[in-house]
Structure 1
Amino acid sequence: MMYSLWSLLFFIVFSNQEPRDEPGIEVSSFEDEGSMGRCWRLRDEKCPNPDINFWLFTKANPYGMKLSLDNLPIDKFLPLKPLKVLIHGFDGHRHYTPNFQLRPRFLELDINVISLDFPKLVKSPCYSEAVHNAKYVGRCTAHFLTTLLERKLVAIEGLHLIGFGLGAHVAGFVGNLMTKYHLEHITGLDPAKPYYLVNDTAEKLDRMDTHYCYHNRSAEYYAESITTPIGFIGYFCPNFKSFATGVCVPKEDTETMGFHAHPQARGRYFLDTNKSPPYAMGKNYMHLNRQLKGKTFLNDDIIERILENNSIG
Structure 2
Amino acid sequence: MQYEPTVTRTITHLLSTLRVIITVLVLDLIHKNFVTMFSSMRAWQSCGRTNLAATLAAAVLLVQLITVQSVPVSVNKGRSSFTIGNCVWVVDRPCPDSDIRFYLFTRSNPDDRQYIHIDESWEKSNLSSSYFNPSHPVKVIIHGYNADMFLTPLINMKGEYLSRGNYNLIFVDWSDLAHGPCYPSAVHNTRHVGTCIGQMINRIIDAGTDNVHLIGFSLGAQVTNYVSTTVRPFRIRRITGLDPAMPLFITAAADDKLDPSDAEFVDVIHTNALVQGKIERCGHVDFYVNGGIMQPGCWGSGQNPMACSHHRAPDYYAESIRSLTGFWGWSCQSYVYYLLGFCPQNERQIVAGEDCPTGTEGMFMITTNAASPFAIGRWTGFSIPQKKDSALHKHGLSRDPFISDIDQWGKLDGSFNNVDQFPTPYSQDPNHASDDEWPYFNHVGTKQLTREHIRKILEQDKSRYNGDRSPSIASNTLATVAPTSPSPTGNEVDEDRFYLEDLRRRLQQKEASVMQQYSMPMFNAL
The normalised TM-score by structure 1 is 0.81
Aligned counterparts of 1:135 and 1:241: Cα–Cα separation in 2: 32
- Pick from 183, 200, 203 the counterpart of residue 127 of structure 1: 183
Q: Which amino acid counterpart does residue 191 of structure 2 have in structure 1?
A: K
Q: Is the 8 A contact 1:25 1:42 kept in 2?
A: yes
Q: Please give the per-residue CA displacement for 1:116-156, whole angstroms capped at 9, x wherever unaligned.
A: 0111100100000000001100001101110221232xx11
Q: CA deviation at 1:15?
A: 7.2
- With over 3 angstroms needed to count, the CA separation of the structure-2 counterparts of 1:97 and 1:133, relative to structure 1, is farther
- With over 3 angstroms needed to count, the CA separation of the structure-2 counterparts of 1:19 and 1:271, relative to structure 1, is closer
Of stretches 240-249 and 216-225 in structure 1, the one that deviates more from structure 2 is: 240-249
Aligned counterparts of 1:207 and 1:19: Cα–Cα separation in 2: 39
Residue 256 (str. 1) matches residue 351 (str. 2): yes
Q: When you count strand as a share of all residues, which structure comes out higher?
A: 1
Aligned counterparts of 1:15 and 1:112: Cα–Cα separation in 2: 47
Q: CA deviation at 1:98?
A: 4.7
- With over 3 angstroms needed to count, the CA separation of the structure-2 counterparts of 1:98 and 1:244, relative to structure 1, is same
Residue 82 (str. 1) matches residue 137 (str. 2): yes
- Pick from 248, 256, 261 the counterpart of residue 203 of structure 1: 256
Q: Is the 8 A contact 1:138 1:171 kept in 2?
A: yes
1:105 match? 160
Q: CA deviation at 1:181?
A: 1.6
1:230 match? 325
Q: Please give the per-residue CA displacement for 1:152-203, whole angstroms capped at 9, x wherever unaligned.
A: 2xx11x2100000000011121012211321010001010001111251111
Of stretches 59-68 and 286-295 in structure 1, the one that deviates more from structure 2 is: 286-295
What SS is found at the alignment partner of 2:346?
A: coil
Q: CA deviation at 1:269?
A: 0.6
Q: Mark the runs of 5 or more structure 2 residues left unpaired by the alignment.
A: 1-63, 119-123, 271-312, 387-414, 423-522
Q: Deviation above 6 Å: which 4+ runs of structure 1?
A: 12-15
- Pick from 22, 29, 54 the counterpart of residue 102 of structure 2: 54
- Pick from 95, 103, 114 the counterpart of residue 65 of structure 1: 114
Q: CA deviation at 1:17?
A: 4.7
- With over 3 angstroms needed to count, the CA separation of the structure-2 counterparts of 1:22 and 1:122, relative to structure 1, is farther
Q: Which amino acid counterpart does residue 128 of structure 2 have in structure 1?
A: I
Q: Is the 8 A contact 2:73 2:83 kept in 1?
A: yes
Aligned counterparts of 1:261 and 1:74: Cα–Cα separation in 2: 31
- With over 3 angstroms needed to count, the CA separation of the structure-2 counterparts of 1:269 and 1:14, relative to structure 1, is farther
Q: CA deviation at 1:107?
A: 1.7
Aligned counterparts of 1:147 and 1:294: Cα–Cα separation in 2: 44
Q: CA deviation at 1:206?
A: 1.0
Residue 159 (str. 1) matches residue 212 (str. 2): yes
- With over 3 angstroms needed to count, the CA separation of the structure-2 counterparts of 1:178 and 1:97, relative to structure 1, is farther
1:304 match? none
Q: Which amino acid counterpart does residue 58 of structure 1 have in structure 2?
A: T
Residue 276 (str. 1) matches residue 324 (str. 2): no
Q: Is the 8 A contact 1:134 1:170 kept in 2?
A: yes
Measured on the aligned residues, the alpha-carbon RMSD in Å equals 2.5
Residue 142 (str. 1) matches residue 237 (str. 2): no
2:247 match? 194
Q: Is the 8 A contact 1:164 1:219 kept in 2?
A: yes
Q: Is the 8 A contact 2:153 2:314 kept in 1?
A: yes
Q: Which amino acid counterpart does residue 89 of structure 1 have in structure 2?
A: G
Q: Is the 8 A contact 1:81 1:111 kept in 2?
A: yes
Of stretches 245-254 and 81-90 in structure 1, the one that deviates more from structure 2 is: 245-254
Q: Please give the per-residue CA displacement for 1:235-268, whole angstroms capped at 9, x wherever unaligned.
A: 1111234334442332222111111112111111
Aligned counterparts of 2:420 and 2:365: Cα–Cα separation in 1: 16
1:7 match? none
Q: Is the 8 A contact 2:134 2:207 kept in 1?
A: no
1:19 match? 74
Q: Is the 8 A contact 2:198 2:231 kept in 1?
A: yes
Q: Is the 8 A contact 2:385 2:418 kept in 1?
A: no
- Pick from 266, 269, 290 the counterpart of residue 216 of structure 1: 269
Aligned counterparts of 1:68 and 1:230: Cα–Cα separation in 2: 39
Aligned counterparts of 1:45 and 1:151: Cα–Cα separation in 2: 26
- With over 3 angstroms needed to count, the CA separation of the structure-2 counterparts of 1:269 and 1:207, relative to structure 1, is same
Same amino acid, percent of matched pairs: 30
Q: Is the 8 A contact 1:164 1:189 kept in 2?
A: yes
Q: Is the 8 A contact 1:189 1:215 kept in 2?
A: yes
Residue 40 (str. 1) matches residue 137 (str. 2): no
The normalised TM-score by structure 2 is 0.50
- With over 3 angstroms needed to count, the CA separation of the structure-2 counterparts of 1:120 and 1:238, relative to structure 1, is same
Q: Mark the runs of 5 or more structure 1 residues left unpaired by the alignment.
A: 1-11, 30-37, 298-309
Q: When you count helix as a share of all residues, which structure comes out higher?
A: 2
Aligned counterparts of 1:72 and 1:22: Cα–Cα separation in 2: 28
